[in-house]
Structure 1
Amino acid sequence: MPVYKNEKAKGDKKWYYQFYTGKIKNGVRERVTKRGFKTKKEAEKAMIEARAAYQKGEYLEPSKKLYGEYFLEWLKSKRNLAESTIDQYDSYFRTHIEQGIGHIPLAKITAHDIELFVDSLQKKGLAPATVKRIFSVIHASLHSAEKKELIRKNVANKVEKPQASTRRELVVWEPDFVSDFLKQTKGKSRYWIAIYLAIMTGMRQGEILGMRWSDIDFEKRNLTIQQTVTKKRQIKPGAKTKLSMRSVALSPETIEVLKEHRKNVIVPEMVKLGPDYQKNDLVVCTNFGGPVTSRAIQKVWDSFLKQTGAPKITFHDLRHTHASLLIKQGVHIKVISERLGHSSVSITMDTYGHLMPNMQEDAAAGLDSLIKTTSTNR
């Protein structure tokens, strides 16, 4: 059998196979060689598969392109994905994939390589859900490579899919704590308004950063979400989904807080800079009118948590806090769903249903006020 062991090869993958195709190319008998097997048995099995594929005309010449190079080309071609999703995948690549398996040739990447990579992510302490998403991205990219016949098969199919743990328990603040927190932090940063709006409207961070003064109807106390700001500080028309393009009612106090912010922060800067002020019409903006980065908001958020000694929650948890405040008031779940811009009420129920422990009890007790079957002794 034309299977050999190269004692000079580095590491433990010293076995390789080689066979002649029966064709002559440039006066030389054409042969196929593939290296990098740990055992003779693995090499023999791979050679048998390669020979069979060659006879059927299905053999693919191994590509010398690195997986990292291919991944970036694949990501660039995904024009149907939302920009935020593209940014997330790119972040996975730069932070984890590139250094983990990006250096391996696309044609030589194995299921074992991916298993070791997944293990390394888990050892880093990444959340199970994050590990699962990164694996799914790798699987999708290799699936595309298989369809384009760049590789014979998607080796990720042989890897057990990482399991995400149960959903993280939502951490929300109580009404009294929210009030104290806002009072303690007000006036300590121009970006305080973003935190206030997250609590009072339940909007996503990108929606808050993309909010314009022209989107607000001060008389009807209503705002319309029509654009967002991406993590790359780009203003993007539209929202996360079609249902995210929505109207959100504002409380009387929220209207007054917005007016105060415009009067004390925005207008003075517009007057000071004059024509140099960027006319983006943004409510939350830099001191020259430009869009704000999520990093800038995060820096202020972390500072406020430290200053107040508040329980550590994420900025996004303020959206959950908003939902919990509405639930405490007995607001109908459909109204909450509409305010949050969920694609369906079922998503809202799945996310916040556990915050309504007394709903069935209250419903059962309420029936007694309608139906009377027992007599009352007077």
Structure 2
Amino acid sequence: MADIRKRIGKNGTTYQVRYPCPSAKSGYAFKTFRTMKEARAFRENAHAWKESRPVYGAIKTVQDGLQKWLDICEKEGRGGRDPVTHYTLKGYRYRAEIIASYDWPDFLPNLRAPDVVEFRSWLLRNYSRDQARKVLSYFHSMVIEMVNRGVLDHNIASGVRVATTSRYDKPIRIPTVEEVRALLSAADRLANSKNAQIARSWARYRPMLYLAADSGMRPQEYVVLPRFNLSDRGVMVDRALDAGGAKISVTKTPAGRRFIDLSPETLDMVRHYGEKIAWPNDHDLVFPTSTGKWQSTKNWRRRGFQVACLEAGLIDSDADASDGSEDRPKFKPYDLRHFYASMLIDRKVNLKRIQKLMGHADIQTTLNVYGHIIDKDEDIDNNIGIISILHEN
């Protein structure tokens, strides 16, 4: 027989109906209401509670829901998407542990929006604002999955968020045409150095630098570029280093898979290195190390890109450094990606085309990053490589 229990907690007074449920482990299921009137109406409607299905299979607690969500992410992919990578899954599990560590007041199907608001308050008191925002976002994903699977009747987390400004609100630093010309000239000089060791290193770093400026590829994409992805017109991007740098994987999102036209000069330089100079390797890499493995993005940044910045005089002086003065590279490898996008915008390339070439899954990302410099006029010719433009006039 069903009965009603009055509950007084941090969320105020609620009324919990306990009713027989053969599928539940204890033989009973529970449903919580804000008023006694609602609880009585449910208790007296025998058909309602006999047909009520409080949980899906074995999913009763928030921890159960999290485990189901993680299994879906790992084995089948959410919403028909591909399963996440091993490194991404590690991040999911870390934040799932934070969610599970909270003292949830009831079973997952019985939770209401005020319970999620209290969870948000707990996050903000115990974690950084950025971490709280990310954890709550993962909780949202789990809840939506549970709604789709019939565990929850509605999205109990709807509207409960941690407000934040976009990471793209901070102005990005875009090298000018003159600065990129200086960077490429520095690479040319280093590749022709009288020092054999420097020349040998820059035989590889020079085409990498040209490729980065000419394609807008992410560093984790071009360090594992295979020779078979080069064609007579440009480069196909379909793989990248996993975020941990431990293995070659697919691009971050399906949108990252794209074809990019290259300037003839860049294409010849990259193909020549990959076919005539590169060390033999099992991954068909264009830019392998002497051991046949891929380069780490950290080594490329420190031993290649930063050296070119210093050679080109692209430095920032830090007068507040502990030793009185310190020169630092003005740019990072990723800034060449911003340069590439700015050149597309300068040429008035269609916004949707820019999104595709940059490999952005959402056009909103393109707008967030580059909206302040986008001209809505469309382009006439989208197939001239960036490096060719640098060499005009």
Alignment pair present for 1:321 and 2:321: no
Structure 2 counterparts to residues 81-100 of structure 1, below 5 A: 81-83=81-83, 90=89, 92-100=91-99
Q: Aligned in 2, Cα 1:45/1:352: closer, same or farther, shift over 3 Å?
A: same
Residue 321 of structure 1: how far off its partner (Å) = 1.2
Instruction: Give the SS at the match of 1:322.
Output: helix
* Alignment CA distance shift 1:148-1:23 (3 Å): closer
Quote the offset at 1:282 in angstroms: 0.9
Deviation per residue, 1:21-41 (Å, 9 max, x gap): 47999xxx975567xx9xxx9
Of the three residues 115, 120, 126, the one matched with 2:130 is: 126
| Superposed counterparts of 1:192-271, under 5 Å | 194=208, 196-217=210-231, 220=232, 222-231=234-243, 233-235=246-248, 240-241=253-254, 244-253=257-266, 255-256=268-269, 259-260=272-273, 266-267=278-279, 270=280
From 372, 375, 382, the counterpart of 1:354: 372
RMSD over aligned Cα, in angstroms?
A: 5.1
Q: How far apart, in 2, do the equivalents of 1:50 and 1:350 lie? A: 48
Indicate how the Cα distance of structure 1 residues 282 and 146 shifts in structure 2: closer, same or farther if over 3 A, else same.
same
Q: Is contact 2:87-2:242 (8 Å) kept?
A: no
| Residue 247 of structure 1: how far off its partner (Å) | 4.2
From the superposition, tell whether residues 299 and 115 of structure 1 become closer, same or farther in structure 2 (CA, over 3 Å): farther
Decide whether aligned partners of structure 1 residues 353 and 64 sit closer, same or farther in structure 2, where only a CA change above 3 A counts: closer
Structure 2: give runs of 5+ residues left out of the alignment: 192-197, 316-327, 379-393
Q: What's the secondary structure of 1:246's corresponding residue? A: strand
1:44-82 deviations in Å (ceiling 9; x for gaps) = 588558637864122416714614323312323326224
User: Residue 70 of structure 1 contacts residue 106 of structure 1 at CA under 8 Å; is this kept in 2?
Assistant: no
Contact 1:20/1:30 (<8 A) preserved: no
Task: Report whether the alignment pairs 1:51 with 2:43.
Answer: yes
Greater Rg over alpha carbons, structure: 1
TM-score, with structure 2 as normaliser: 0.60
Kept in 1, the 8 Å contact 2:11–2:114? The answer is no
Find the residue that maps to 1:156 and give its secondary structure: coil
- Alignment: residue pair count: 326
Retained in 1: the 8 A contact 2:208–2:270? no
The residue type paired with residue 255 of structure 1 is D
Could you list the structure 1 runs, at least 4 aligned residues long, displaced by more than 6 angstroms after superposition.
13-16, 22-25, 188-192, 342-350, 357-360
**What secondary structure, in the 3-state scheme, does the structure 1 residue paired with 2:157 have?**
helix
Q: 1:173 to 1:55 in 2, by over 3 A?
A: same
Matches of 2:210 and 2:15, distance apart in 1? 65
1:319-372 superposed Cα distances (whole Å, 9 cap, x missing partner): 1211224555x4745776665456899986775453357989xxxxxxxxxxxx
Residue in 1 that maps onto 2:54: 60
What per-residue deviation string (whole Å, max 9, x for no partner) do you get for residues 295-323 of structure 1?
x314643676697513465x544312112
What letter corresponds to residue 68 of structure 1 in structure 2? L
